[in-house]
Amino acid sequence: MGMSACSWCVVGLAILTNASAATAQTKLAWDENAGSIVLGYAVTVDGVRTDYGVSPVGLTGLCGCSIPVPFSGGNHTLVVSAYNLWGEAKSASLSVGPRASAGGPYAGQQGISLVVNGGGSQAPTGSIIRYTWQWGDGSSVTSSSSPTASHTFVNAGTFNLTLTITDNAGATDSSSAAATITSSGSPPPALPAPFRPAGPISPATRACTAACWVSG
């Protein structure tokens, strides 16, 4: 079968991370059309092509193919191609890089610390080294290696928070979330004025405290 009849030799391009291994390993994995005649595979990363031959093929001799990702972190575009004597067919491109998730929406109260969480952010081929939060109220940013942060808003209102993550290769991505901050509360209502009779005080009135309510 020639490559001209193999428009989808490579299917299911994906990034897989084996987090259960003693040393986590990230792989670029793909499969092939079972009817294809393939003599080898090449992987192109950001325009640079590397020929892997048949080394990505599994022990069964069937594809279920994978290679260790040849980089750590950063933004990259990947294409896997399969070839035989008639030519070469390419997969659709796969873009990988850090992806920020600011969480939310958040709700809090003026003058009370609001906790935010960017733990949904990902760096599938590397690691996140910095989380930077902009609070949308003109205050200074908060930057740390932790996905959680806190901030106290001085004023009530709705604020646009922006989380920017940075991975180990210096690649960044940003995500926004709304924070609705309510006022700290209205002042307590005034107590009624004490009862001050204009005339002589009767025994019944004398027994009444200042909090009594007199009608009529």
Look at residues 31, 62, 96 and tell me which one is the last residue of a structural domain: 96
pLDDT at 122: 94
Domain that holds residue 42: 3-96
pLDDT of residue 59: 62
CA dist., res. 75 & res. 173, Å (int): 10
Residue at 208 is within a domain? no
Per-residue pLDDT of the chain (216 residues; tens, 9 = 90+): 344 434 445 555 677 765 544 455 788 888 877 777 888 899 999 999 999 988 877 666 667 788 899 999 999 999 999 888 888 888 889 999 999 999 999 999 999 999 999 999 999 999 999 999 999 999 999 999 999 999 999 999 999 999 999 999 999 999 999 999 999 874 434 545 554 555 554 444 443 333 333 333
CA–CA distance, 131 with 145 (Å, rounded to integer):
6
Of 70, 96, 122, the last residue of a domain is 96
Per-residue pLDDT, 62: 67
Q: Are 159 and 136 in contact (CB under 8 A)?
A: yes
68 and 122 in a single domain? The answer is: no
Q: Are residues 118 and 74 in the same domain?
A: no
State the first-to-last Cα distance of the chain, in angstroms, to the nearest integer. 105
Domain CATH code at residue 125: 2.60.40.10
Is residue 59 situated within a structural domain? Answer: yes
Residues 120 and 74 both lie in one domain: no
Contact 69, 28 (CB under 8 A): yes
Based on the structure, what is the number of domains in the chain? Answer: 2
Which of 34, 61, 96 marks a domain boundary?
Answer: 96
Do 25 and 48 sit in the same domain of this protein?
Answer: yes
Same domain? For 88 and 110 the reply is no
pLDDT of residue 13: 62
CB burial string 11-47: b at 16+ within 10 A, e below: eebeeeeeeeeeeeebbbbbbbbeebebebbbbbbee
